[in-house]
């Protein structure tokens, strides 16, 4: 399931993003375990986009209140999501975080990555929300105590908008650090403060970067395929848009739109191809499967 979601994520990025840029991409190839310390402006879309860039398997610390029933829990686990509880989830649930951190400890021992949102909450914003929480330093310190070569990687995700289409998204990867700032003689509190200070320094530096964008070519050439793309996909996208708008917390709008398109578009494409196959034959069905994503991409670039 994890690999399928990763594949669908890359396809949906191409389908819906006018620009998607990744900086310092070499760190995405790191094979040793990482604590990925990410900002959190746009719900679970931040985790989906960031995790999909990493070559190594990523596990995601996710707000515990969404783990409500066995079906949801099974889906969450299949895509490597791990619950973490906040005070607002009830004091009785906070003790469950000991199990969560033990799971993260085992994941790090296996050499895999853990993504955690260092701000500790999600809010539509374009600046870093401080003070940073203690989760990332705690995981890093535990890994070092277990004598594992684990490091922390700060990541900044930047959106041109939290609701507009198409998206322009930039992911800025920082530089890994760990043992270079940890002194064995220091107390845990001082070490955790040093870790958060370095994470904050890098995230502030990364957030100052702005992609100037490319000069736009004439849209006239894209007008016809873009209009065809809009008409061919309106039956899919407009209901998803309507549904996403009904969600009480509008902070989830982008995430719901992206996830629904990623999951439903292959089904929509096959249904259309099936109808065309029954009415016009296999050749036109094959042409539709190949051309419809290109028409959708044309609309994204034209819009």
Residue labelled with tokens 């998206």: 167
pLDDT of residue 269: 95
User: Tokens for 244?
Assistant: 């996403």
Kindly indicate the confidence band of residue 73, based on its pLDDT and cuts at 50, 70 and 90: confident
Q: Nearest Cα to 141, choosing from 93, 178, 174, 171?
A: 178
pLDDT of residue 303: 87
Phi, psi for residue 59 in degrees, rounded to 5: -115, 145
Look at phi and psi of residue 67 and say left if phi exceeds 0, alpha if psi is from -120 to 50, else beta.
beta
CA-derived radius of gyration, the chain: 21
Q: Which residue has the higher pLDDT, 182 or 145?
A: 145
pLDDT of residue 265: 96
Mean pLDDT value of segment 65-77? 76
Mean pLDDT value of segment 4-21? 95
pLDDT of residue 213: 67
pLDDT of residue 295: 96
pLDDT of residue 60: 94
Q: How many CB atoms lie within 10 A of CB 8?
A: 20
- Is the confidence at residue 185, as pLDDT, over 60? no
Q: 113: helix, coil or strand?
A: strand
Inter-axis angle of helices 253-280 and 282-302, nearest 10: 150
Q: For residue 166, is the peptide bond before it cis, meaning its omega torsion is within 30 degrees of 0?
A: yes
The C-alpha atoms of residue 148 and residue 168 are separated, in whole angstroms, by 37
Q: Nearest Cα to 218, choosing from 301, 113, 274, 98?
A: 301
Q: Nearest Cα to 13, choosing from 126, 166, 123, 115?
A: 166
Rounded to two decimals, the pTM is 0.90
pLDDT of residue 221: 86
The C-alpha atoms of residue 251 and residue 265 are separated, in whole angstroms, by 23
pLDDT of residue 151: 95
Q: Which residue has the higher pLDDT, 81 or 211?
A: 81
The C-alpha atoms of residue 214 and residue 216 are separated, in whole angstroms, by 6
Q: Which residue has the higher pLDDT, 77 or 275?
A: 275
Kindly indicate the confidence band of residue 30, based on its pLDDT and cuts at 50, 70 and 90: very high
Query: Sign of the CA dihedral 262, 268, 269, 271?
Result: positive
The C-alpha atoms of residue 171 and residue 40 are separated, in whole angstroms, by 12
Kindly indicate the confidence band of residue 86, based on its pLDDT and cuts at 50, 70 and 90: confident
Kindly indicate the confidence band of residue 108, based on its pLDDT and cuts at 50, 70 and 90: very high
């Amino acid at each position: 399931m994890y690999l399928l979601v990763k594949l669908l994520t890359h396809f949906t990025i191409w389908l819906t993003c006018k620009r998607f840029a990744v900086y310092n991409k070499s760190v995405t190839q790191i094979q040793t375990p990482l604590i990925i310390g990410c900002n959190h402006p746009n719900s679970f879309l931040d985790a989906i986009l960031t995790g999909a860039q990493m070559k190594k398997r990523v596990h995601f610390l996710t707000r515990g209140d969404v783990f409500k029933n066995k079906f949801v829990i099974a889906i969450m686990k299949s895509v490597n999501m791990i619950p973490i509880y906040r005070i607002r989830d009830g004091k009785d649930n906070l003790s469950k975080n000991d199990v969560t951190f033990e799971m993260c400890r085992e994941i790090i021992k296996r050499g895999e990555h853990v993504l955690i949102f260092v701000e500790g909450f999600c809010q539509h914003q374009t600046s870093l929300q401080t003070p940073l929480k203690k989760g990332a330093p705690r995981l890093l310190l535990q890994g070092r105590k277990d004598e594992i070569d684990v490091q922390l990687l700060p990541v900044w995700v930047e959106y041109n908008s939290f609701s507009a289409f198409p998206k322009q998204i930039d992911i800025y990867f920082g530089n890994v650090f760990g043992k270079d700032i940890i002194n064995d003689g220091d107390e845990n509190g001082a070490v955790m403060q040093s870790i958060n200070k370095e994470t904050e320094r890098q995230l502030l530096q990364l957030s100052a970067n702005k992609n100037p964008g490319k000069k736009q070519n004439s849209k006239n050439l894209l007008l016809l395929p873009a209009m065809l793309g809009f008409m061919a996909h309106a039956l899919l996208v407009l209901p998803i848009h309507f549904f996403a708008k009904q969600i009480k917390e509008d902070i989830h709008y982008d995430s719901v739109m992206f996830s629904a398109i990623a999951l439903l578009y292959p089904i929509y494409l096959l249904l259309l191809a099936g109808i065309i196959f029954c009415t016009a034959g296999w050749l036109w069905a094959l042409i539709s499967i190949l051309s419809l994503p290109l028409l959708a991409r044309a609309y994204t670039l034209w819009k």
